Amino acid sequence: MDENSQQIMQVEGGRPVRMWTEGVPVEEAARQQLANTARMPFIYHHIAVMPDVHLGKGSTIGSVIPTLGAVIPAAVGVDIGCGMMAAKTTLTANDLPDNLSRLRSAIERAVPHGMSPKTRGHRGRDVGSWEAPPASVDTAWMKLKDEFDRICQKAPSLRNTNNYRHLGTLGSGNHFVEVCLDEVGFVWFMLHSGSRGVGNAIGTHFIELAKKDMRSHLANLPDQDLAYLSEGTQHYDDYVEAVSWAQKFARMNREVMMQNLIAAVRTVITKPFETHVEAVNCHHNYVQKERHFGKDVLVTRKGAVSAREGELGIIPGSMGAKSFIVRGKGNPESFHSCSHGAGRTMSRTEAKRRFTVADQERATEGVECRKDANVIDEIPMAYKDIDAVMHAQRDLVEVVHTLKQVVCVKG
């Protein structure tokens, strides 16, 4: 391992924080947040920090938090199971239409996105003016329904969420669908989304339960969003079950969107093609049991991707920047992890204050995408330099493919 790519922050009264942040900025507030988390008594061994690190709610985005005997719901967050899916196709750049706007429009109709409903489709789902076949949604939901019903017996409020209705939908913010070209001209489809409204409700429900359970101890925490659930309690077991289900929902959500994305592209590109040639579907906001340094521990990845030796993952850049399909090196010091993207350098509010639509147009030149005031917060300049981020984690992953988007759909 190249030791120069790792920096160690010692925390008084806490575990060390190992940081893969060489050459990328780390805000002071994020360092303080990392130190707060490192002082929690159940942190195991150390915290690992990825180069896309930035301030989050409760715990820092871009961090890997191993715990023994407890879990912090706010560290997992409310976008449970958020992640990426990418699929290589047998299409090449020459097979794409000269005018990509029709392709973008077909994708926007096939994959419901944004916050506002369009036309009502199958069972009240928002599907846009081109209705995607609903069979894939029904099939996916039937695999999720029984376990969801059991979870709702303990948390009835979750039944009123947009659970079935959000399956196969993108959402807004930094979630996206892209058509990309790799380094030799093959076409890839890539998308970014998670467990949507039901995952948000699960995360919020258990964050509040943790705070309620610890009401008499909150004053002793460095941040009340570090309220935790202890192993052996009913709420801990219920949370582990619910968050596991939300992660399944998120994975199936991406699968359904990918199916409908492929169907939409076939309406525009009539040449027969195959896909899922090299499909990758990975979470970057989740928690699961893993074995590290001789112990079975819960590993929370908040804005980080599993990168076991030989495992494929996805590290997207921002709109207009490169993205990468990577193969993990299985670095034990990072708990077999890597970054989940470039990482923000400023808030959405600051990006909207600082940049204009003209800036957005210049930054996304050559990409068929929205270029309006409502997406300025996603401008590439609001994110870290993806090349610097990749260099900082050179001992965590190797690049398998470099992708450049030509179409980008955002909510």
Active site residue 401: no
pLDDT score of 115: 59
**Residue 179: left (phi > 0), alpha (psi -120 to 50), or beta?**
beta
pLDDT at 207 > cutoff 50? yes
Domains and CATH numbers, the chain: 3-345+383-410 (3.90.1860.10)
The DSSP line for 337-406 is EEESSS-BSS-HHHHHHH--HHHHHHHTTT-BS--SGGGGGG-GGGB--HHHHHHHTTTTEEEEEEEEEE
**195 vs 261: CA distance, rounded Å:** 18
Residue 232 burial (10 A CB sphere; 0-12, 13-18, 19+): exposed
185 and 93 in contact (C-beta within 8 Å)? yes
> Catalytic residue among 166, 283, 284, 340, which?
340
pLDDT band (50, 70, 90) for residue 216: confident
pLDDT at 282 > cutoff 50? yes
Q: pLDDT averaged over the chain? A: 91
pLDDT score of 134: 54
pLDDT score of 83: 95
pLDDT at 72 > cutoff 80? yes
pLDDT at 126 > cutoff 60? no
| More confident site: 124 or 282 | 282
